[in-house]
Amino acid sequence: MPVRNIAVNTEVQMGNNDSPSLLRFIKIEELVISNKQIADLSPLRDFVNLTKLILDHNDIGDIGPLSSLTELKELSLDYNNIGGIEPLSSLTKLTYFSLDHNNIEGIEPLRSLTKLETLYLVYNNIEDIGPLSSLTKLTALGLNNNNIGDIGPISSLTKLEELSLDHNNIGCIKPLSSLTELTTLSLDHNNIGDIEPLRSLTKLETLNLDHNNIEGIEPLSRLTELTYLSLKNNNIGGIESLSSLTKLTYLSLNNNNIGDIGPISSLTKLEILRLDHNNIGCIKPLSSLTKLRNLNLNNNNIKGIEPLSRLTELRHLSLDHNNIEGIEPLRSLTKLETLYLVYNNIEDIGPLSSLTKLWLLHLDHNDIGGIDPLSGLTKLTVLSLKNNNIGNIGPLSSLTLRILNLNNNNIEGIEPLSSLTQLKELELRGNPIDIERGLVSIKDLPVYEKVKRQLLCFDILAKEEEGKKTLAKQSKIKGFFDSPQDLVVLLMRDYMKTDNMCKFVKMLLFVAERGRIRSLVEHDKQILIDDPRSDLVTPKMRSILLPMIIEEQRDKIEQFEQRELGGGIVGDEEYYGDAFAEENDACGAAKCPFHGEDNGNCSVM
């Protein structure tokens, strides 16, 4: 806790440290006490020399003791439980006041604080802002996330330079027309349709109108000082009015009804452009935007991408969900770091070989067979190739991947993955993987060692036919399960039908006896619904599994399930498994629960 010049011009910051007795410092002028769970402010009553007080992130409800601190010029009470602010009416010297994230409804006491220049009341329950009309010296006002509908009182605040009214119930913005000094205005998530009043705000540099009901944007044509403009999630069709906004460096128009992007061609200073989720087919106007660094064109009707070849400053490019077949124009974009081409019609990825700065590449849901061009992309750490026609993954052996998704391809052997010693996440489900060629033989290779040390969840889901074959090779499966000591969950959905259940339970027992894998999960609705024998084992598996998984592991499993499998925590209706089976449980019992035979006579024991 630094304490400087206690008796004269003092600033005390106590933050999360142990605070001394406040009564020793009643002459201080600046005091910061944040994150201390303070509820009682009565000790501050005598700190009459304070000019600056910050009490953010506490448990304050009653602010009565502050009424005597009439010398205060700066006061911050963010993140507390304050409902009434009547005691503040006496603090007439305040120039800066912040009450974000409280429970304030009425703001009448603010009417007397006529010296205020900055006021933040974000995340409260305010509806009536009438008292603000007298605060004519305000230059910055934040009223986000309240219940404000009528903004009439703001019209008198002609010195405002920054105004934020996001997430309210505002429909009419006519009162804003008088605020000609505004340089920053944010109105996202309201009910605004008519933006004519903005025409007079010619000093605006930053404007946010996301998530409204705007169709026509002609009034924006005069706002030539704009450098940042966001209009996403509206009903905009024509964008002719934007051609005059030549100072723009950021423009977001995603989630509208835009087809023709011709007017954008004059915005040559753009560095970030979002046009995703529109009806764009032709992207020729983009060829002049040579300063672009970030471009998003997801979810459009784009087929040809020739105009992109000139955008050599691009670092991030998204082209998911289009009709792209050829990607030759991408060859010249050698500064690209991230590239998304999911859900297109791409077969040949040869042009990607020159993009040596890529660290993230998504090529899911295309028609890709060969991946040789990826072998030289040594900076790649995240690669997703799911749902393609890939069989040979040899070219990946030279990479330093941390995340790799190869789901739903034609991969049989995974030996090339042995060199990927930095892998954190690996997904291979939906492939005809040969256990003997792949998962068993890999156990002594570096990638397998990496799995043991780092992977929390290893998903080896296989196609049904291959799954049946691998289950018949008990010795091979044992060989695989004998090593990984730190796996939290091993997923084996789609491996078998009901006639393989006893082999499956044998496999569960083998793992449980060694205490290697905390949870072995098999997902097959047909077993749960159609096989009466499942009733004998599923409840028992659940009763063993849930208590044995520590909370941290359950969190990790849940995160994996939510992210990759679309929900369903282990133990839900569609998941069951065994963890550290107790002695004499499941197939470790005196009799097999499926066959009723002694363990020695069970065909799978």
**Is 230 inside any structural domain?**
yes
270 within domain boundaries: yes
Residue 591 has pLDDT above 60, yes or no: no
507: enclosing H helix or E strand: helix 501-514
Average pLDDT over residues 216-234: 98
291-294: Cβ within 8 A, 24+ apart? none
Cα–Cα distance measured from residue 500 to residue 495, given in angstroms and rounded to the nearest whole number:
9
Average pLDDT, integer, range 339-354? 98
Domain presence at residue 454: no
Asked if 479 contacts 451 with a C-beta cutoff of 8 angstroms, the reply is no
Residue 406 lies in a domain: no
pLDDT of residue 18: 46
177 falls within a domain: no
Three-class DSSP category at 52 = strand
**What pLDDT is recorded for position 562?**
53
Name the token pair of 412: 């049989």
Residue 559 to residue 292: CA distance in whole angstroms: 35
- Cβ contact 181:202 at 8 Å: no
Identify which has the larger pLDDT, 265 or 413: 265
Number of domains in the chain: 1
Give the bridge partners for 185, in sequence order. 163, 207
If one counts every other C-beta atom within 10 angstroms of the C-beta of residue 204, the result is: 23
Reported residue count of the chain is 605
- Flag the least confident range among 72-76, 93-97, 106-110, 464-468: 464-468
Residue 160 in domain: no
Q: For strand 228-230 and strand 206-208, is the pairing parallel, antiparallel, or unpaired?
A: parallel
pLDDT of res. 432: 86
- Over residues 557-574, the mean pLDDT reads 43
Query: Which residues are CB-neighbours of 11 under 8 A, at least 6 positions away?
Result: 2, 4, 28, 29, 30, 31, 32, 52
Is position 358 within any domain?
yes
**CATH assignment of the domain containing 233:** 3.80.10.10
Its domain, for residue 351, covers 214-362
Helices 501-514 and 534-548: crossing angle, nearest 10°? Answer: 20
- For residues 463 and 411, is the Cβ–Cβ distance under 8 A? no
Burial class (CB in 10 A: 0-12, 13-18, 19+), 294: middle
Supply the mean pLDDT for the chain. 78
Is the pLDDT confidence value at 563 over 90? no
Give the tens place of pLDDT for each residue, 69-82: 999 999 999 999 99
Among 139, 84, 89, 127, which Cα is nearest to 110's? 89
Average pLDDT score over residue span 380-396? 97
pLDDT value at 224 more than 80:
yes
pLDDT (tens digit per residue) in 123-172: 999 999 999 999 999 999 999 999 999 999 999 999 999 999 999 999 99
pLDDT digits (tens, 9 = 90+) for 491-537: 443 333 333 434 444 344 334 434 333 344 444 332 232 233 333 33
Sorting pLDDT into bands at 50, 70 and 90, what band is 27?
confident
Calculate what percentage of the chain has a pLDDT beyond 90.
Answer: 63
Instruction: Among 147-156, 190-199, 540-549, 552-561, name the one with the lowest average pLDDT.
Output: 540-549
Looking up tokens 């910061």 gives 32
> Helix 501-514 crosses helix 474-481 at what angle (to 10 degrees)?
30
Greater confidence (64 vs 581) lies with: 64
pLDDT of 446 > 70? The answer is no
Which of 195, 224, 237 has its CA nearest to residue 212?
Answer: 195
Residue 96: pLDDT band with limits 50, 70, 90: very high
* Neighbour-count burial of 463, counting CB atoms closer than 10 A to its CB (0-12 exposed, 13-18 middle, 19+ buried): middle
Give the residue-averaged pLDDT of 304-318: 98
* Alpha carbon 330 to chain centroid, angstroms: 27
Residue 483 placed within a domain: no
Write down the pLDDT at residue 412. Answer: 87
Q: Sorting pLDDT into bands at 50, 70 and 90, what band is 422?
A: confident
> What's the half-sphere exposure (Cβ side, CA atoms, 13 Å) at 516?
21
Say how far apart CA 450 and CA 446 lie, in whole Å. 6
pLDDT of residue 420: 86
